Chain A
Amino acid sequence: MMALQRLFNNLATSKLNTPKLLSNFVPRCSYGLNNVGSDDPDVEIIEKKIVEEKTSLAMRAYLQRATQYNSFMQQQTHEYNVGKRHLANMMGVDPETFTQSDIDVAIDYLFPSGLYDPKARPLMKPPSEVFPSKKDAEFDESGRPFHVFFYTGKPNFYLILHNIATKLSELNKFEDSLRKNNILPDPDKKLTSLGSQWLSKEDLEKLTVEKLSDHEYKNFVIAIERLLKHPCSYKYGEFISDYQKPMISTKAIIESAPVEYTKDGRAFVTVKDCPRKDARADVTVYYPGTGKLSINGKGIEFFDDIQAREQILFPLLFTDMVDKVDIHATVRGGGVSGKAGAIRFGISWSLRSFVDPETVERMRIAGLLQKDYRRRERKKPGQARARRKFTWKKR
């Protein structure tokens, strides 16, 4: 936006825009096209003139596109606002206090879709959320790019890499200067990547508004990881954290399920539809108990397979609750190990309510509280099985 404003100012005063290419200044791109079709008539006239006189072909095409896009967005916004008033009227509510969340509720009521994916259901959203943003102009009216890295094709991405590299060399210098004075970089301040992960490829693409290849993304990760591992990396902690996001929170795992009580005062937790492969299990754990187990009305003999029995035992043994709880499970679908795995997950998931937080953490590390999403791999066409290829001989 800044860049464009500047462009218009320059155009108005008929001066050539000379970006400070020599310095490290590169405008960090702002996303979305704004204010290209200005409302001010004077500006428009001058603009048109100069556009015709001096601007390059690319710039003219760009301006045309931008005006088109803006008017389109304006129209869409207008439609949305009118639609919102209509909807408020339909639902018999005051349109002034009608918010987006009210719209969502109303649409859900008027168009009850049974589609599984919420994304596929009908919606009414402001156009800014619906239409993807577009990149601003990257060059001036004479066709000269603003960005130093314009000719790399992916200026924003390479800017990031460039910044990482400069920071790294600065850190090296800094470290040298420290060592000259016989000071060692503070090991306590050292940054770690614990609890956070790098932005995913999609996130990075969104940030740069550029399409990246896998290879480029890998380069980015290698570069930023090298910066992180530098002993003095704490100097640029903020810069690094711009490209990090927190890891999947373990909070949901550690928070225990709500406890209910039977008539005789025993606590119990029910977990429904515990998944593993094709099996689904409903598990109820009663506490305190005496180690009774019932699976579909049978005891442990429900499973002939010793491995399946061991799986049922695993969480109980791990938490030392073998004879302290009663378990009631119903399981359907799947095979033997699937059934056992589903029950195992149900037991461990409900045991969280009856053990101390440290044990819950231990269970998490032991992999008891993670759903096992692995499924049978499909057979592929042109192959004998999932991975196996047909026998092939060259001659």
Chain B
Amino acid sequence: MRAYRRLCGYATAAVKQETQYQIPTAARTEKKNPVDHDSQDVSKFYTIDPKTVSNIFQTGGLPKPFTEQTNMFAETALMIRQPALEVINSLKSTDFQKPAVRYLLYGQTGSGKSLSLAHILHYAYSSKFILYHIPYVPIWLKYDRKEVNWSSSKNGMADIPLIAAQWLKHFVHQNGALLNELNLTTSQDYVWSQRETTPQGTTLNELVTHGINRAKYACDCMDILLNELKAHCSNNRCKMLVAIDGFNAFFNEKTDLKTEDRVKVTPQQITMVQTGLSAVLSDWNNGAIIMVTSPRAALNTKRESHLPIYLIGRQGFEHIDPFIPVMVPELSTVEFNNMLDYYEEKRWLQKPGGRKELEFLTSKLPADLMARCAPL
């Protein structure tokens, strides 16, 4: 035994240290509903119960490394941070008779924009907003052996039917129950083809189901759905939250996509992108629009800065002006320490005492911190 100890002296040292070292516990808040969160809860963790997580995020919305981590920790704990709280507070006090207010979350890569958006989505979900949520735009535009067809309804535009159907599924997964409850119906007849029509008064759920089953019409269905929802909101029948992650990908110069006749397609030529762009127009009320710009969603050649106008360009700015830019900064010292406390509590970080180093190496960006702590 002694020989073994000598061989791995490090191990015994570590064990000894552990007995002396009191493993910290992270600061948490008991308020499970984001409606109750206020400035006192900033930098604390709150857990979302698994059912809600699967309702909102099962088909997208949380970054992949974070999902893996939640699986390992057997809980989904989000840190309450100032930017998300700010948006939630202003959503609480918004005058919904005015046109929908646009918020734009921006910040460095890995500063926690997507998780802030997740927090806001959770708030909107629990305050019964309809979520018109696009999890991550670049996924639409990336070459992934996708079927790209010319649109039958709009001339010169391209459809990505399977992706659109997938998105409709995501929409139903998030809002199916709420739509049933609200019992929203279509306001006019829609003729898809000679045989297929959707008469006036059909529930939106049925409309979406049709889009899912007939993928050919999924893109049109998305557009119609948006218009219907806008109209319903303006008529005060429901509230809607448009949330788009990777918004600046709409304004990229090119995509990896090609139609069957090998024509390259720009983002502006895609019907789904046009639908997304029309979703952020504030020609409706009773809702809010939240966009996230991220350098990672931009093309490789355009990632120098994380500031919004650099990413969306003048055209993008004019499209969404006026909007409220919300900066998602790196972690504050309190947040940083709490985050590391959390990792240590969960035994994810095995060596205490290197906080200064980690702070310097990751410049307090939460995603970097997560990646750096993984092998330690």
Contacts and interface: CB of A to CB of B under 8 A. Distances in A.
User: Do A and B have CB atoms closer than 8 angstroms in the complex?
Assistant: yes
Interface of A: 291, 293, 299-301, 306, 309-310, 313, 316-317, 322-323
Contacts of B356: 317, 322-323
A323 B108 CA distance: 22
Interface of B: 108, 356-357, 360-361, 363, 372
Ordered nearest first, which 9 A-B pairs have the shortest CB separation?
A309-B361, A300-B363, A322-B356, A313-B360, A299-B363, A322-B360, A313-B357, A317-B357, A313-B361
Nearest to A312: B360
Nearest to A322: B356
Given A313-B357, A313-B360, 19 more contacts: A291-B360, A293-B360, A299-B363, A300-B360, A300-B361, A300-B363, A301-B108, A301-B363, A306-B361, A306-B372, A309-B360, A310-B361, A313-B361, A316-B360, A317-B356, A317-B357, A322-B356, A322-B357, A323-B356
A309 B358 CA distance: 11
Contacts of A322: 356-357, 360
Contacts of B108: 301
A105 B357 CA distance: 53
Contacts, number: 23
Label chain A's interface by main secondary structure.
helix
Nearest to B375: A306
A225 to B, nearest CB: 35
A280 B238 CA distance: 62
A310 B108 CA distance: 21
B285 to A, nearest CB: 41
A322 B363 CA distance: 12
Chain B interface helix/strand/loop/mixed: helix
A306 B371 CA distance: 11
20 contacts: A291-B360, A293-B360, A299-B363, A300-B361, A300-B363, A301-B108, A301-B363, A306-B361, A306-B372, A309-B361, A310-B361, A313-B357, A313-B360, A313-B361, A317-B356, A317-B357, A322-B356, A322-B357, A322-B360, A323-B356
Nearest to A309: B361
Contacts of A299: 363
A306 B361 CA distance: 8
A84 to B, nearest CB: 62
Contacts of B360: 291, 293, 300, 309, 313, 316, 322
A313 B357 CA distance: 8
B110 to A, nearest CB: 9
Contacts of B357: 313, 317, 322
Most buried by B among A291, A301, A313, A323: A301
A291 B360 CA distance: 8
Contacts of A300: 360-361, 363
Contacts of A317: 356-357
A109 B108 CA distance: 57
Contacts of B372: 306
Contacts of B361: 300, 306, 309-310, 313
A293 B363 CA distance: 10
Nearest to B372: A306
A306 B358 CA distance: 11
A317 B361 CA distance: 11
A300 B108 CA distance: 13
Contacts of B363: 299-301
Contacts of A309: 360-361
